[in-house]
Structure 1
Amino acid sequence: MDKGLKHNGEFVTINQHKIHIYRQGNMSSPKLVFMSGSGTVAPVYHFKILYEKLISKYRVIVIEKFGYGYSDIFEAPCDIDSLVSFQRRALAEVGEKGPFILLPHSMSGLEAIRWKQMYPDDVKAIIGIDMATPKTYKEEQVTIEVGRVLNATQDILWEEEFEASKEEALSYSHPCAEIINTLALRQKKYDGYYYNEAGVLMAFDTDLTKQKAGLVIRKDALDKFLDIKKLHLVWFVNAAKEIHGKTLMITKYTDWTGLLEYTGDIVQGEYYIIE
């Protein structure tokens, strides 16, 4: 502990290291023991706004475990049984006897439950403050049935490094293999233009024509493919916009998220804007 800091409790020594413990209230009143979670840097101050409202009717006790608040930073065992033992010893050192009402926050809920299991006479009740339970940390397999997912397009990139016949990099999108095979599409003289068996142009990437509108496909061809394969065409919307000031700090941020679906006649759906 930094000698320049003034604590408002007392210290007990466990394993040659100091644990800070704060106590206030009538000794004969029901005893509340506040137990901090893993991210509570200074439990005495973190819980203050709550325990100050309870001191008139309860005896308040806050134990700052090793590495928290005014307690020593000490690489002590961190298994649940050891954590319970350290806190019980701290209470015993200052003469506090149960039964206690434990108020665990977050991860210390596991300690409170174990405390009750190991020393049932110590614990009168457990009042959780957004406490964790063993189920919180249980890994459960989550399976969501969404059906078959197929990417409608694929990207092709030619670079001189890999293809000596190309003087400049060439990149475009084309229909996925399943669309090409199902509709029997073929390229002719130029790469990236796909025709049906009757020689009618069905799909091409507008980048090839300098229009920058992405891959386009004839509606009748798309409808035929979706009907044959019993698929739905959807778009996942995920975009963001940042506006930076003169200091390069972000002055405004907008995020778009949503889902759109092609129904044969229109594209419909919803997206959400977060600013």
Structure 2
Amino acid sequence: MKKGLKIIGKIFLLILGIIVGFVIISAVSHNIQNSIEKNKYKIGQSIEVDGKNMHAYVTGSGEKTIVLLSGLGTASPIADFMPLAERLSKDYKVVILESFGYGFSRTTKKDRSNENIVNEIRTALKELDISGPYILMPHSISGIYSMYYAKNYPNEVEAIIGIDESVPNQTKTNKDEDMSHNLTLLNTLGIMRDLSYLSPSADDGMNQNNYYSAELVKLKNKATLWNSLNVSIINELNTVNSNTKELYDVKYPNDLPVLAFLSKDTVDTEPDWLPLHEEVISNAAIQKIEPLSGGHYLHWTNADKIAEMTEEFISTHLK
């Protein structure tokens, strides 16, 4: 009996040792591959913000500056926005900012509050030596940060052009669920990368219009392995409710031109989506809503139309 228990104990320790060894190898391999891949696919430039490296991509040379701000969890904002940035850059200077935890930028454990994120955006633009006022073009959750920016620093924002952007009151009755910080281990230990070997990336519709080069698709897929479930993104997700609550019932400033491109798919599936965006309008003469066919990532399929309508809106409402 005792001999049998000893054998079972040895087998258990052997299995435990194999598992621990696998986890260590996975974590080390993941971090080495991250470093190699980031050097291989690097595009844009690094700047120092709050003592950490933040990444940005700048193109075009127009008199007005459009700042593209990504949605929550968009692994590579540079890859994600590139086709739209290329089209906008024909008339404007265009900046793609990769906030902490995104793209090539470092992660941070600093609170992902509206105040901190907006101050990081402002610092990044100053480090890039790009002066305002800016035209903010937020996708999804960045609509909240853009509204906070315009409310608190009105002289630095001359317009907001949203891409199916979030608005504050959307969490009044539909709170977002918090995500466990333990999930960061899936990133730190390289488990997300290991799972990718077993299950190749599914086609998410990003390149259905052939806007994206093979290199951009690879960058997006690699960045997903670098950034999925990292500490910055989980912290940001867990502050959505408090960040939106801070702006409950706030409307856009009366003198701020706003163009909101809304996804018809979102409008059709979420009946409150259009009314919620109508609520934040304070001046219908210069604040418009334009539904476009397509999903939440409208710029994946509507880059040409967004660029064209953006140029028309800017030429009409901004001098």
| TM-score of the two chains, using structure 2 as the length reference | 0.42
When Rg is computed on C-alpha atoms for both structures, the one with the higher figure is: 1
Which has more helix, going by share of residues?
2
Which has the bigger relative contact order, CA under 8 A and spacing at least 6? Answer: 2
The structure richer in strand per residue is: 1
